[in-house]
Amino acid sequence: MQKSWRDSALLAYALAILAFLYLPLLILALYSFNDSRINAVWSGFTFRWYASLLNNQRVIEALTNSLIIATISTLVTTTLGTMAALALNRYKYKFKGVINGLLYLPILIPEIVMGLSLLVLFSQTGIALGKGTLVVAHITFCISFVIITVGARLEGMRKDLEQAASDLYATPWQTFRYITFPLALPGIIAGALMSFTLSIDDFIISFFVAGPNSTTLPLYIYAMVKRGISPEINALSTCMMCATISLIVISQLLQPQHKSAKK
C-alpha cells in the first residue's frame, strides 16, 4: 500500500493525541520522586515514597479491593450486557424505543443521586454494606455502557453470514459460537474495557455504598485530598502504569508468529 501524506498526517495526529493522554502521567511519574509530602512544587529527588508504599498496608488493600471489584463487575456486566444487546438487536420487542431510551437513564442520572438512592434501597431492605454492595452498584451503572457499545457493533454487522450459516443447517448455538460471537468480539471487549475503566475509578457511588473496611483506591485517594495527596499515590500510579504496559508487552511477545485468519 502506498503511504500518502494523508496517512502520515493521520499518524502524526494520532500520536499527538496519545501524547496529550500521557503527558499528565509523565508529570505524575516525575513527581513521585518529589521530596515533599504536600507535593505542590518540586523540592528534590527521593525514592522514599516507593519505600513507604510497600509498607502501606491500607493503600495496597484498597488497590486490591478495587481490582477485585472491577474484575468481578466487568465479568458480570459484560455477560449480562452482551446477552441483552444480542436480544435487542435480533428480536422485535413491543416497546423497543422505550427500552432503548431507558438504557441511557443509568448514565444520565447523576452519580450522587444514584449512590444515595442505592444506599437508601440497601438500608431499607437490610442489605449490609460491603464489597458485595459495591459490586452490585458497579454492575448497575456499567451495564448500559456495554449494551450500547456491543449494540453498535451488532448494528453494523452483516446479517448475510448468519443467514448463510443457517442455510447450511447450523444450529442457532453453532451460528452464535462460530459466526456471531467472533464477529462481535471486538465490541464485547470494548464494552468490557469500558466497564473495567468505569469501575476502577468510581468514587461517588462507591462512597455511599461501601461498608466499613471495604475501601477502594479512589475512595482512599479522594479522602486524602484534605491533607494533600502524598507522592505515595504517584508512586502507586507509576507502578500500576508500568505493570500494565509490561503485561501488554509480554503478552505481545508470547504470541505465536503466524497470522490468524481474518474474516
**Binding to other proteins by residue 6, rule CB under 8 A?**
yes
In this structure, the number of other CB atoms found within 10 A of the CB of residue 208 comes to 20
- Return the residue of 53, 69, 165, 194 that touches other proteins, per CB under 8 A: 194
- Assess contact for 124 and 157: CB atoms under 8 A: no
Residue 34, phi then psi, degrees to nearest 5: -80, 130
String marking each residue 205-224 x if it binds other proteins according to CB under 8 A? --xx-xxxxxx-xxxxxxxx
Q: C-alpha cell of 102?
A: 431507558
Q: C-alpha cell of 33?
A: 520522586
| Smallest separation (angstroms) from other proteins to the CB of 191 | 8
- Return the residue of 8, 19, 51, 87 that touches other proteins, per CB under 8 A: 87
| Smallest separation (angstroms) from other proteins to the CB of 47 | 19
**Binding to other proteins by residue 17, rule CB under 8 A?**
yes
Name the DSSP letter for residue 44: -
**Binding to other proteins by residue 124, rule CB under 8 A?**
yes
**Binding to other proteins by residue 179, rule CB under 8 A?**
no
**Binding to other proteins by residue 151, rule CB under 8 A?**
yes
**Binding to other proteins by residue 229, rule CB under 8 A?**
yes
Q: Which is nearer to other proteins, 45 or 91 (CB)?
A: 91
**Binding to other proteins by residue 80, rule CB under 8 A?**
yes
**Binding to other proteins by residue 152, rule CB under 8 A?**
yes
**Binding to other proteins by residue 225, rule CB under 8 A?**
yes
Within 125-144, the residues that bind other proteins by CB under 8 A are 127-130, 136-137, 139-140, 143
Q: Specify the long-range contacts of residues 18-25, CB closer than 8 Å, at least 24 apart.
A: 25/237, 25/241
Calpha distance 251→81 (Å, rounded)? 27
**Binding to other proteins by residue 118, rule CB under 8 A?**
yes
Greatest Cα pair distance in the chain: 72
| Smallest separation (angstroms) from other proteins to the CB of 26 | 8
Q: Please count the residues of this chain forming the interface with other proteins, following the rule CB under 8 A.
A: 136
CA pseudo-torsion sign 117, 122, 126, 130: negative
AA letter at 242: C
Q: Where do the DSSP E strands lie in 111-253?
A: none
- Assess contact for 214 and 138: CB atoms under 8 A: no
